[in-house]
Structure 1
Amino acid sequence: MCERGYGMLVGWLDRNGQLDPLAHPCDRVTRDLIRAFIIEYSVGRAEGTVAGAVRGIAYVLRACAPPDGVDWLTRLAHRMTNTAKPSRPKLPRMVRIADIVLLSNRLMDIGLDKLGQGHRSGAPIYRDGLIIGLLIHRPVRRRNLTDLRVGHNLIVNDLGIRITIPREETKKGVPFDGYVPKRLEQAVFTYLDRVRPVLLNSDIPDEGWLWIGRQGRRMPADDISIRVTKTTRKHFGRDLSPHLFRDCAATEVALERPELIGMTKHLLGHMTPASSQKFYNQATSLTAFSRHSDVIRKLREEGS
């Protein structure tokens, strides 16, 4: 991610005729250049995205000239990161885990019923239900969900269905190694044995990708996001993106089992619990929102 941010700056300098290939990386940045880069890069992008790019530039420069790199740029990046406003508020889109699990089960039941009646349309419905169920139980990032491949990082053994993702394939460099929860095991086996073969195209070699989409091909990450978002919007009246499942999971732990809040580090694949708390735990806001609703309800009851 840091390399990507720095690469965008280098590309921008090159397009504007201001790139000196022989200059030390730290000598390629000035306050005026960074200001101009931010102005141009900010068009159409969320504040957090822009802050992430600037932070990437600053961190690459720290690696090139340790330990401080360009000190003023690092301070700027941290300030931008801490003050960036979310492009969309998360709280209004939050859904309780129990409701998500019910939706997942309902979709899989509908899918199986349709397949039992000979309707192929039941296969994608079942698949979407399983994706939603797996996301809320094992909220891996979208990229890692998309890259699940039978026999490679999704392995059936005597203990169950194991998911293993090496550190070089995770955003935070933290490996993931865990099992599909027992309550979902049979659903995964049903998908592999009955549903996935319906989704496959006999004219296309089966490379083992878990999620099969249109025309029997591997399902791209964007298609997974679209299907999950459309499905949750239809049933909950709000958009629940795959990434937001991580917020829901961390918040549920904080609300229902606060003594286990440390587990969110492992659940979300973070280096420390602080990351889970800072970026994903909406429990304080959710509790305040619920109390506010209770006050309004009581006032209405007293008024009537």
Structure 2
Amino acid sequence: MSARKRWRAVPAEGWPESDRRTWARATRGWPAHRLKQARTAYGQLLAYGEPDGVDQATIAAFAEAVAWHRPPQSARTTLRGLADALVVLRPEEPWGWLHEAARDAIRAGRPQAAPKKRPGPTPTRRVAMADWPDDHRARWITGFASPAEPVVDDPYAAALAAVTAAWPDGGTSDEVPGTAMGKPARHPSSWRPATCTAAERGWGRWLAWAGEEGGAAAPEAVTRDRVARYVDGLAARGCAPKSITAYVQGLRFALRVLAPDGDWTWLSRQATILQSHAVPLRDKAIGLRPIEELAALGTRLMAEAVGQPLTLSAATLYRDGLYIALLAWRPKRISNIGEMRIGRELVLDQTGEPVSLLFDRTKNNDPSESTVPVVLRPCVRAYLDRFRPLLDGQAGDALWVSNRGAAMAVGSLAAVLRDHTKAAWGKGIGPHYVRTMYATSMGATDPRALAQVSIMLDHRNSQTVEIYRALATSTNASHALDRMTTGIVEATLARRKKERQRTGRKRPPARGG
């Protein structure tokens, strides 16, 4: 069979009468691109099955031919469109295996072409770990080794052992002698992945800057004067104050790994000073919306998904709506929300009902527990029982699953929130901004609730929410003044209207009229 005949599609006018009636009734409101993909895929299936008709064996043979002869992305699009069409036209049969076949086509397909880079040189601002000096990489491995797992034949193992031996409980305790500002510190082996990444990137930026300056790049060469020049150089490049603070913090983390016997108290204090003077370039109060609008957006997305046929697109939309609604009701950090697992962070009772969210470790290394909102429990149950099985491929117990069957990354979840909020409000927001929305909305409703808000946001220091108190106060004042101004304007207009009616004078024409 030639390729042209194999992929010929029967137009919708040539479909069986029953299929055409069902299709016209069930696909109203579908997006144009999705409608075209499903219609083309089903038309190709009908052409493939001529003249014997279409049965399960024909569908399986067609799916195998598509996966074998077409490029991976094209095969995935066709198989997903076919699954959407068959869910509508033959809803009594399960078609989840087609979604799995689409994922297999991608996994087994040839590698995709690399994206084209923008023309022009890109300055190197961070040295990758693979390009670090061998001495630095050796220190890095040693610094992350657990105190219970000594590194053999390493020149810095003795220095590390001498320092960790002085730590309570062999370095496993939170309290470390000489910790800057009295804050608890932990051994690098127990750091969260985000902290390890910040340390790695912090040292990579320092190496890039030291190479441009032409000075020494060893950890022992990090001095007050050089850090001051490093900060000035970052500012000259246009880095935001908050970003500079984060880079210095990353450098401090890296030095705790590379030179654990050094006294970096002065660097901790300098980072604290930078943090206290760092002013965000963007005003959080601009465009701030009530948190109930975000919850309503998530609820609306789930309702739209329920009203559609049970397809992969509907499952993806329901997942997005549930994630947004849960984030509005429980604005935990995205690192915790994104890593939720069924039966671990999402606790179920004996009947399978979701009852609580349990995080063993937050950003502050403290555990956190909260109940699943009662209004969202049926939504979570519906996602687990009805929609998530369509998405699940090799995600294991991960709660959030992509349409390719893998556990979603934190960055993908952040993109989901930005895309939907931009489509609904004209401006996308990030997951951390939701915490500002939540605290400001709760503070505007009842300023006394900010103490509970601090607990919900997993703040170790309750004074962190004071900025939200100021935002809530200014928001309330703005709303009150708006109401007063509206009342004054309306009263003035009404008074002038009565005066014109009493005197019989017409309203003067506008200037230039």
**Is TM more than 0.5 here?**
yes
Aligned in 2, Cα 1:75/1:60: closer, same or farther, shift over 3 Å? same
Higher CA-based Rg: 2
Which string of whole-angstrom CA distances, capped at 9 and with x for unpartnered residues, describes residues 177-205 of structure 1?
122111110100000011111222xxx43
- Once the two structures are TM-superposed, the CA of residue 223 in structure 1 deviates from its matched residue by 1.4
Instruction: For CA contacts below 8 A with separation 6 or more, give which structure has more relative contact order.
Output: 1
Aligned in 2, Cα 1:274/1:287: closer, same or farther, shift over 3 Å? same
Counterpart pick for 1:155 among 347, 358, 370: 347
For 1:48 and 1:280, locate their aligned partners in 2 and report how far apart those are by CA, in whole Å: 21
Aligned in 2, Cα 1:109/1:20: closer, same or farther, shift over 3 Å? closer
- Once the two structures are TM-superposed, the CA of residue 225 in structure 1 deviates from its matched residue by 1.1
Counterpart pick for 1:37 among 199, 222, 230: 230
For 2:298 and 2:479, locate their aligned partners in 1 and report how far apart those are by CA, in whole Å: 25
Unaligned runs of 5+ in 1: none
Which string of whole-angstrom CA distances, capped at 9 and with x for unpartnered residues, describes residues 233-262 of structure 1?
222233232111111111122111222221
Question: In the alignment, is residue 145 of structure 1 matched against residue 337 of structure 2?
Answer: yes
- Once the two structures are TM-superposed, the CA of residue 64 in structure 1 deviates from its matched residue by 5.8
Which residue of the partner structure matches residue 275 of structure 2?
Answer: 81
Q: Secondary structure at the match of 1:287?
A: helix
Counterpart pick for 2:416 among 211, 227, 236: 227
Instruction: Tell me the C-alpha RMSD between the 2 structures.
Output: 3.0
Q: Secondary structure at the match of 2:265?
A: coil
- Once the two structures are TM-superposed, the CA of residue 74 in structure 1 deviates from its matched residue by 4.9
For 1:182 and 1:234, locate their aligned partners in 2 and report how far apart those are by CA, in whole Å: 28
Q: Work out whether residues 114 and 120 of structure 1, in 8 Å CA contact, stay in contact via their aligned partners in 2.
A: no
Q: Secondary structure at the match of 1:178?
A: strand
Which residue of the partner structure matches residue 250 of structure 1?
Answer: 439
Q: Work out whether residues 2 and 60 of structure 1, in 8 Å CA contact, stay in contact via their aligned partners in 2.
A: no
The TM-score, its normalising length taken from structure 1, stands at 0.82
For 2:470 and 2:327, locate their aligned partners in 1 and report how far apart those are by CA, in whole Å: 17
Q: Work out whether residues 421 and 427 of structure 2, in 8 Å CA contact, stay in contact via their aligned partners in 1.
A: yes
Counterpart pick for 2:305 among 111, 116, 126: 111
Aligned in 2, Cα 1:12/1:210: closer, same or farther, shift over 3 Å? closer
- Once the two structures are TM-superposed, the CA of residue 34 in structure 1 deviates from its matched residue by 1.1
The TM-score, its normalising length taken from structure 2, stands at 0.51
For 1:279 and 1:259, locate their aligned partners in 2 and report how far apart those are by CA, in whole Å: 12
Unaligned runs of 5+ in 2: 1-193, 494-513
- Once the two structures are TM-superposed, the CA of residue 277 in structure 1 deviates from its matched residue by 2.5
Question: For residues 1-304 of structure 1, what are the structure 2 equivalents within 5 Å?
Answer: 8=201, 10-15=203-208, 16=211, 17-20=215-218, 23=220, 28-31=222-225, 33-42=226-235, 43=237, 45-55=239-249, 57=251, 69-70=265-266, 73-74=267-268, 76-115=270-309, 118-158=310-350, 160-167=354-361, 170-200=362-392, 204-278=393-467, 282-294=471-483, 297-298=486-487, 300-301=489-490, 304=493
Aligned amino acid, residue 137 of structure 1: W
Count of aligned positions: 289
Name which of structure 1's ranges 129-138 and 48-57 shifts more when overlaid on structure 2: 48-57
Name which of structure 1's ranges 9-18 and 170-179 shifts more when overlaid on structure 2: 9-18
Q: Secondary structure at the match of 1:155?
A: strand
- Once the two structures are TM-superposed, the CA of residue 291 in structure 1 deviates from its matched residue by 3.9
For 1:211 and 1:76, locate their aligned partners in 2 and report how far apart those are by CA, in whole Å: 39
- Once the two structures are TM-superposed, the CA of residue 271 in structure 1 deviates from its matched residue by 0.8
For 1:195 and 1:76, locate their aligned partners in 2 and report how far apart those are by CA, in whole Å: 50
- Once the two structures are TM-superposed, the CA of residue 56 in structure 1 deviates from its matched residue by 5.3
For 1:59 and 1:258, locate their aligned partners in 2 and report how far apart those are by CA, in whole Å: 36
Aligned amino acid, residue 307 of structure 2: D
For 1:206 and 1:14, locate their aligned partners in 2 and report how far apart those are by CA, in whole Å: 37
- Once the two structures are TM-superposed, the CA of residue 91 in structure 1 deviates from its matched residue by 1.4
For 1:85 and 1:114, locate their aligned partners in 2 and report how far apart those are by CA, in whole Å: 46
Q: Secondary structure at the match of 2:423?
A: helix
- Once the two structures are TM-superposed, the CA of residue 60 in structure 1 deviates from its matched residue by 8.1
Q: Secondary structure at the match of 1:240?
A: coil
For 1:13 and 1:283, locate their aligned partners in 2 and report how far apart those are by CA, in whole Å: 39
Q: Work out whether residues 395 and 401 of structure 2, in 8 Å CA contact, stay in contact via their aligned partners in 1.
A: no
Q: Work out whether residues 161 and 180 of structure 1, in 8 Å CA contact, stay in contact via their aligned partners in 2.
A: yes
